[in-house]
Amino acid sequence: MTILFVYTAVSKVNDWSNTRNALYNQGLPTWLTELLLYGLPLVEVLIAVVLLIPTIRRIGFILGTGLMLVFTGYVAWIWLGFTAHVPCSCGGVLSGLGWGEHLVFNLLFLGIAGYGWWAGK
């Protein structure tokens, strides 16, 4: 989980212009888009750091599960065709996946996060 969150944060920052364009293509209010643009990488890094600290790792799994639920819900929403257009694609390695494959990927990591939360590891 830690590597996933660091990777996605670094991908967003590394490809800032595409990240920005993709978020602005969501149809969200500008204030929310700006909040997500700057907030998502920060939250992903924060979760990764919390996952590295044994005494608060369970909190990291709880936060990671919440974030993965949101991301997985978003991917499912697109995959099920509830949008008029596909608002964006993901960056990095995930850009090569179709929406169904991306959904499976997210469900796998959602399961890992949920297990970590449940197991208290």
pLDDT per position as a tens digit, 55-110: 999 999 999 999 999 989 988 888 887 776 666 656 666 667 788 888 898 899 88
- According to the model, what pLDDT value does residue 13 have? 94
pTM of the model: 0.85
pLDDT for 48 equals 97
Query: What local confidence, expressed as pLDDT, does residue 59 receive?
Result: 93
Neighbouring C-beta atoms of residue 28, cutoff 10 Å: 14
- CA distances 23 to 16, 58, 66, Å, are 10, 30, 20
Alpha-carbon distance of 42 to 45, in angstroms, equals 5
Tokens of 47: 């979760």
Mean pLDDT of the chain: 87
Query: What token pair was written down for 46?
Result: 């924060």
What local confidence, expressed as pLDDT, does residue 116 receive?
Answer: 84
pLDDT at 24 over 80: yes
> Is the pLDDT assigned to residue 19 strictly greater than 70?
yes
Residue 85: the pLDDT is 63
Angle between helices 16-24 and 2-14 (to 10 degrees): 90
CB distance 26 to 85 below 8 Å: no
The pLDDT of residue 45: 97
Q: How many other β-carbons are positioned within 10 Å of the β-carbon of residue 87?
A: 16
Model pLDDT for residues 26-65, shown as the tens digit of each residue: 878 999 999 999 999 999 999 999 999 999 999 999 999 9
pLDDT for the residue 36: 94
User: What is the distance, to the nearest Å, from the Cα of residue 62 to the centroid of all Cα atoms in its chain?
Assistant: 14
With b meaning 16 or more CB within 10 Å and e meaning fewer, what string describes 4-21?
A: bbbbbbebbeeeeeebee
